[in-house]
Amino acid sequence: MHNVAVIGAGVIGLASAVNIQNKLPEAKVRIIADRFDQDTTSWGAGGIFRPTAKHLHGVDLKRIRKWLRDGWDFYSSLATSEHAGESGMQIVSGFILYKEEPEVSRIPFQFKLLSHTHSFFGGSSTCKSQEGGEIEQRKVSDLNEFVGTYDIVVNCTGLGSKDLIGDNSVYPVRGQLVRVRAPWIKKFVYTDDDTYIYPK
């Protein structure tokens, strides 16, 4: 049996833990974080699934394309499942405006609006209820403490990686969102400078 530690309980940590548990049902998965549920940055945040290699420097394009296809299969199956309503996910059509065609734009899928991601994953209680799943609330200061205890350690600390592993390439980005009543907007518009309009 694999002993897996997932460090961080935001949407990436919870999604990673659930997917690891689904792929390795015999594994013992433990989420370790100092903050859970509404105390995380992910709580209630929105997300957009789109094919891009913009922020993945030094990663082979073949691998990026596989990640994108796998990601699309996973999220689109959720958006078309019985859980779509409670997850807040929906598939929308629209336009992406690029100055130059990106290297991964020909991957054959549409874009997807993700919102209230915590609803689908059900917060930490869902992960705890998974067979073999456990949660532990504490601050992790050094990944070396997991050596010899866990077979696999997944770092999902986001901005916390700056302090945890000295990753100075990580920095916070604050976006500005404006919500307006515009029922005539039926399709999304996304530009390559990360400006976008999405219908609700």
How far apart are the C-alpha atoms of 5 and 16, rounded to whole Å? 10
Q: Does 139 score more than 90 pLDDT?
A: yes
Q: Locate CATH 3.40.50.720 in the chain.
A: 1-40+122-169
Looking at domain 1-40+122-169, which CATH architecture does it have? 3-Layer(aba) Sandwich (3.40)
CA angle 87, 91, 93 (to 5 degrees): 155
Residue type at 87? S
Q: Does 151 score more than 50 pLDDT?
A: yes
Cβ pair 72, 49 in contact under 8 A = yes
> From edge to edge, which strands make up the β-sheet containing 112-114?
47-49, 112-114, 90-91
Cβ pair 107, 69 in contact under 8 A = yes
pLDDT tens for 56-89 read 778 888 888 888 888 888 888 888 888 887 777 7
CA angle 31, 18, 109 (to 5 degrees): 135
